[in-house]
Amino acid sequence: MKRNTIIATVLVLVLAACAADSASGSPHPPTTSSTSTTIAGNPAVTEILVQATMHLLRNDTSFGEGHVFGTVLVVDHMKDGPPLTPEQVNALTGAISNLSEVEFIGAKDEYITDDLRPTIDGAAIITLGPVTIDGNEATIDMEMWCGGLCGIWLTYALEVGDAGWEVLGTVGPIAIS
């Protein structure tokens, strides 16, 4: 019964976000991909993964800005896509380890208990979506799960400048539980 309530709550939030987004317009419309960018060895993809993950952990947790998870579990492959490269794993490990312990896992479901908590108390599970780059703009889907009433699903828009890739904000619907 709890799971149905959680799913219904998330669905209502997603629908509300969709309605708000279509009514007001998105400040950063999604870009069209001109290239497949999840190719292993693409340094831009690695930088985008790190920037988006750190922005999520520092700014967009369900607990608010500044919350730090004791452990961050990162799914070792893109959602419905290829495995993270050794370079991507090393870059993510280096960045995340400045905040929390980090571990790479094969499947998030193996780290969620029957009562919808992470198997490691105080942990967050991050799933990275594929990166789409179009010129100097990019998007990436992100998921963070930290419990039955603790999670966020969103898409970040990024732009590259002189200092590298920077998260501008979100595009499309956002779901928070």
pLDDT value for 3: 42
pLDDT value for 41: 64
pLDDT value for 152: 93
Length of the chain: 177
**CA nearest 154: which of 123, 118, 121, 128?**
128
Q: Which of 61-75, 91-105, 126-140 has the lowest average pLDDT?
A: 61-75
Tell me the CA end-to-end span of the chain in Å, nearest whole number.
16
pLDDT at 64 over 80: no
pLDDT value for 171: 96
Please name the residues in contact with 15: beta carbons below 8 A apart, sequence gap of 6 or more: none
Give the single-character DSSP code of 77: B
Distance of CA 34 to the CA centre of its chain: 22
pTM of the full structure: 0.77
pLDDT value for 70: 94
Average pLDDT, rounded, for the chain: 82
Per residue in 74-113, pLDDT (tens digit) is 999 999 889 999 999 999 999 999 999 999 999 999 999 9
pLDDT value for 66: 77
Listed by start position, the domains of the chain span 2-176
Per residue in 104-125, pLDDT (tens digit) is 999 999 999 999 999 999 999 9
Residue bearing the bigger pLDDT, 6 or 153: 153
Distance CA 170, CA 154 (A): 7
Distance CA 1, CA 104 (A): 31
Distance CA 36, CA 145 (A): 27
Residue bearing the bigger pLDDT, 149 or 133: 133
Percent of the chain with pLDDT over 90: 66
Cα-only R_g, the chain:
16
